[in-house]
């Protein structure tokens, strides 16, 4: 296993994802997004009310897809059944997309891996939240 410095790891993420604002965090995803929940249609006889107009939603999952996520071809990690805090995905030559998922919303930020990768490893903390990613 090749060990790289923290700086090289972050630089690698920036090169793979071309996403400099998030690269400082050690993941290709923003740590949080702001969302607003609204009622799409009025209900006769009712008024809608929300105590908070905006909500912060924090990153809580990463998902890899073979092709665009709209095709719903999410990829399972190679070691899904293990209790490891590091999950690994291996890819063939298909187009790989990553989705950043956030707590308390179904909004995901998606993007295609800019450079081909054959393997990605994601480390998780004790709360099972993603904390780092390394692709090669």
For 131, the enclosing helix (H) or strand (E) is: strand 130-135
Q: Could you report how far apart the first and last alpha carbons of the chain are, in Å?
A: 12
Query: Which three-class secondary structure state does DSSP give residue 119?
Result: strand
Lowest mean pLDDT among 64-68, 72-76, 82-86: 82-86
**68-87 mean pLDDT:** 89
**3-30 mean pLDDT:** 47
Positive or negative torsion for Cα 130, 128, 63, 78: positive
Of 9-18, 48-57, 72-81, which one has max mean pLDDT? Answer: 72-81
- pTM for the full model? 0.73
Please determine, for residue 14, whether its predicted confidence score (pLDDT) is greater than 70: no
């Amino acid at each position: 296993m090749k060990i790289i410095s923290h700086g090289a790891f972050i630089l690698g993420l920036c090169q793979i994802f071309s996403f400099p604002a998030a690269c400082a965090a050690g993941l290709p995803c923003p740590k949080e997004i702001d969302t607003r929940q609204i009622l799409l249609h009025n209900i006769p006889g009712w008024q809608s009310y929300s105590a908070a107009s905006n909500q912060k939603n924090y990153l809580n999952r990463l998902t890899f897809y073979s092709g665009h996520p709209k095709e719903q071809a999410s990829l399972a990690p190679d070691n899904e059944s293990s209790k490891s805090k590091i999950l690994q995905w291996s890819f063939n030559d298909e187009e790989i997309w990553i989705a950043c998922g956030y707590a308390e919303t179904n909004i995901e930020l998606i993007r295609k891996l800019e450079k081909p990768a054959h393997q990605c490893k994601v480390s998780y903390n004790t709360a099972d939240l993603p904390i780092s990613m390394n692709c090669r």
